[in-house]
Chains A and B, each alone.
Chain A
């Protein structure tokens, strides 16, 4: 994936190099600007088994700051924020793929403009004829209390 573009970023930023599970890496530009999810918004996406985005709803597009066509075909980790510990995604993989169960967790997502938004995410595997054909994820607005708890926990894991 390409590095983030300075022209897309709003506000003061810091540069962080992120290494992804598939061996790729990129430089992301991160600001301290939070865009909370508006009440009532549910963010929906679907990926193929390799984590490539195949479907997003309008709420996903709006919150991510990307255009619809930029998201379709991109790896879902386009949203990965460097403050998220790798352990959280290892837990997701273990729960979802190895154990075949639904995964829940609080996630700090990265926006195209370098800002972030917190979500409570749920992910399930889409199974057809005993085969995983993709993953569906729904993200919703978490309570402030849960965000604070997650921030404290994740600082100890990064």
Chain B
């Protein structure tokens, strides 16, 4: 039987090969066949989840909430010392210098990355901006959000911080981060689906030990991680509570 592994579509394309190497490592460690399926956008990934076509997933915190609560997934591990932060970005030549100066009618470009969008909308609150007095355009990728800003089709763009920081120098030189979130406690997490729960302990041990060998360290580097750290169900419950708290 072949199991299906997928990665949240907000992963940085620079680490695409790293996830394929990880998939190979996964098969060697578990002795099971895994197929890495990468979806272009959140919608198609969610459709696959709804149809129970995902057995293992590296998910963002928002999707993790749904997977744990509604689909019986169990957290295994997360990248050590890495939290998900969001950043609101403006065109380089925008006259706006502070959040409070952002006007009603702001044209926002974003992906449908739910936790990033939620954090960025929260960061607009000091300017009394919300969904009712701003306009939003949803793009398939962060590159397209950057393009909207550069071409003057949007006044502000919402990015996952890690993705924004990895944009090319040419693109970044035309953009300016206005505000970065500092929440520190939201992160992606590797989750096992109900069909694979029997391998939870074995996989968790192997992930934690990845940093112990040169080959493992090289794999971690290809994912831009320093190490994996274990995540217990209560850790994820806390993150789910946090996401509930943030949703207004």
Indicate whether B156 reaches chain A with its CB closer than 8 angstroms.
no
* Cβ-defined contact, A123 with B245, below 8 A: yes
Chain A residues touching B, range: 20 to 34
Using Cβ atoms and an 8 Å threshold, which residues of chain B touch A137?
245
Using Cβ atoms and an 8 Å threshold, which residues of chain A touch B179?
39-40
* Cβ-defined contact, A39 with B122, below 8 A: no
* Cβ-defined contact, B122 with A140, below 8 A: yes
Indicate whether B199 reaches chain A with its CB closer than 8 angstroms.
no
Indicate whether A76 reaches chain B with its CB closer than 8 angstroms.
no
In the complex, residue of chain B having the shortest beta-carbon distance to the beta carbon of A122:
B245
Instruction: Name, among A58, A59, A120, A143, the residue most crowded by chain B CB atoms within 10 Å (CB to CB).
Output: A143
* Cβ-defined contact, A102 with B180, below 8 A: no
Chain A's nearest CB lies how many Å from the CB of B211? 24
Using Cβ atoms and an 8 Å threshold, which residues of chain B touch A52?
none
Using Cβ atoms and an 8 Å threshold, which residues of chain B touch A41?
182
CB within 8 A of A59: which of B126, B180, B183, B248? B183
Using Cβ atoms and an 8 Å threshold, which residues of chain B touch A143?
100, 125-128
Q: Given A40-B181, A40-B182, does the pair A141, B245 have CB atoms closer than 8 Å?
A: no
A45 to B119, CA, bound (A): 17
A151 to B122, CA, bound (A): 22
* Cβ-defined contact, B126 with A124, below 8 A: no
A109 to B244, CA, bound (A): 23
A36 to B125, CA, bound (A): 14
CB within 8 A of B100: which of A38, A55, A140, A144? A144
Indicate whether A27 reaches chain B with its CB closer than 8 angstroms.
no
Indicate whether B237 reaches chain A with its CB closer than 8 angstroms.
yes
Question: Can you report 8 residue pairs joining A to B where beta carbons are below 8 Å apart?
Answer: A39-B98, A44-B183, A59-B183, A122-B245, A136-B238, A143-B126, A145-B128, A146-B128
Chain B residues near A (Cβ < 8 Å): 98-100, 119, 122-123, 125-128, 179-185, 237-238, 241-242, 244-246, 248
Chain A residues near B (Cβ < 8 Å): 38-42, 44, 46, 55, 57-59, 102, 104, 120, 122-124, 126, 128, 136-138, 140-146
